[in-house]
A and B are shown apart, each in its own frame.
Chain A
């Protein structure tokens, strides 16, 4: 059974700092990995999707990497801003499955 773990559970940083969020998964037979952002009481916003054959994806100040063999992904946020404050969720899809398996998320607070 696939399990997804996100470390740390919460992170507080000053504005302008570069930061890394971590995601690990137990079964490396994934189809893809997706990073989401969730604001309190709101839905999920897709940030980046990495296919199993890819090593990284970039969008603006965000960069996500994937090491499938070791079961790890990182989300790098450059020059953090207070507007980046949210919960960041990592989710994987197994090959042949339609199901997203989520980690518990990292709650990020960026202080002005």
Chain B
């Protein structure tokens, strides 16, 4: 099973809402990632968790809060987002940091 599952597939939220994106993998991978992708642009790294510890935070605004409850799950908590945060949010995992990465299908987020 080489699948990374993201939920929900689509999300519309107001600027005062609090929501969470979820990501799950059962491949025993020890590194998990959040990427943000704007239209017609490449993915941009947001966060990396390695062995359930946050190892990279690419200076992401605090309105995005990652959480890794266990080795299979990765959450991204969203609060007080801006319309410019609308994008495709991609989760990925790899056996170890820097090895082959597998991506989920993404969550299309629209902030209104």
Contact = CB atoms under 8 A, between A and B. Distances in A.
Interface of A: 31-32, 34, 36, 41-46, 49, 89, 91, 93-100, 102-105
B90 A43 contact: yes
A41 B88 contact: yes
A100 B106 contact: no
Dominant SS among interface residues on chain A: strand
Interface in B33-78: 33, 41-43, 45, 48, 50, 55-56
A107 to B, nearest CB: 9
B108 A104 contact: no
Contacts of A44: 43, 90, 92, 103
Do most interface residues of chain B lie in helix, strand or loop, or is the interface mixed? strand
5 contacts: A31-B98, A44-B90, A98-B48, A98-B55, A102-B43
B56 A99 contact: yes
A74 to B, nearest CB: 18
Interface in B1-26: 4, 6
Interface residues of B, number: 27
A96 to B, nearest CB: 8
A90 B49 CA distance: 22
A95 B108 CA distance: 32
A36 B104 CA distance: 12
Among B41, B42, B92, B100, chain A packs the most CB atoms within 10 A around the CB of B42
A102 B101 CA distance: 12
Contacts of B45: 99-100
A98 B97 contact: yes
Closest 10 CB pairs of A and B: A98-B97, A102-B42, A44-B103, A43-B105, A49-B100, A93-B98, A43-B103, A43-B106, A98-B48, A31-B98
Contact of A43 (B31, B94, B98, B104): B104
A106 to B, nearest CB: 11
